[in-house]
Structure 1
């Protein structure tokens, strides 16, 4: 019997027509049948991180994020780069998880996609630093930067670049292996 792997997928963008959100959905479409994805849609609902509010009966939106992470076997994050860094809303979500332990040894894959030639390298490096600090287990071969995303994903959210598609399938396989 093949084990079901529950993956929480998070886009680091709030933009409705975000290429990273479209990419996240395209990645979900590439996954094995035994991978069940929950798309986290509460990024914009989280209050600004405040340690005084980080208590057992804290904000409902924070408790919901933590609950979804607790239920997940693994995490997939797709993020753009804003201002040479991680988008503020995604960093804020991660700040809410620093003291709670939901990411502790949780297999995690990170994809950073950008229309620029660098592929969001600064955001990529920054999010990996934060995830390592909160003890997420970044899976081997579980990170990918995609430059020129607008040339590799069409308007319907379909990955049109064969090498990008292969790389993402390999990334998902790495996530599966990490959960076995």
Structure 2
């Protein structure tokens, strides 16, 4: 039997009850056997990025992030939009990956969980990730139309439509990550 492909799930939200995190947790539960989805919970632990500090020894939280990215075959990203942009905490996470050896060429699939068609942060993420040499798996984010802030994993899983949207996104990952 072949080992499943490891996908690191990155939520761009620090919110306790986050629709983006809920979508990623639901995706973990819906993942086919070909994929192992693993959540990353260290977003709030990362120090503010300063290029002067991107030297050995790196902070433990940065080492953990880079290790998690390095062990992943792909990244699944769900990020909210704040003031028409990428939340500062998530941009900080990406800044810590800019100089890493683990990130360039990494396959990335973006999820857009905004029911009302939030697109500014998605466009910014697309630009940032391309600049960082990510391999974006689609030209547009995969849409999972959640009702907004405060949506739980149970609510996502209770919706046949949301589950179908997540399964479609997971199918993109399966197709993009052939079994080794």
Task: Name the count of aligned residue pairs.
Answer: 177
Q: Return closer, same or farther for 1:155/1:104 CA change in 2, 3 Å cut-off.
A: closer
Residue segments in structure 2 that go unaligned for 5+ positions in a row: none
Structure 2 counterpart of 1:66: 66
Shift, 1:146, TM fit? 4.0
For 1:94-133, what aligned pairs fall within 5 Å after superposition?
94-114=94-114, 117-118=116-117, 120-133=118-131
Could you say which residue in structure 2 is the equivalent of 1:5? 5
CA distance in 2, matches of 1:142, 1:101: 26
Asked if 1:171 corresponds to 2:162, the answer is: no
Higher relative contact order (CA 8 A, sep 6+): 2
CA contact (8 A) 1:109 1:142 kept: no
**Contact 1:108 1:142 survives alignment (8 Å):** no
RMSD: 2.1
Q: How far is the alpha carbon of 1:163 from its aligned partner?
A: 4.1
Normalised TM-score (structure 2): 0.88
Could you tell me which runs of 5 or more consecutive residues in structure 1 were left unpaired when the two chains were aligned. Answer: none
Q: Distance in 1 between matches of 2:152 and 2:61?
A: 33
Cα distance per residue 1:21-40 (max 9 Å; x no partner) = 11110111121023112210
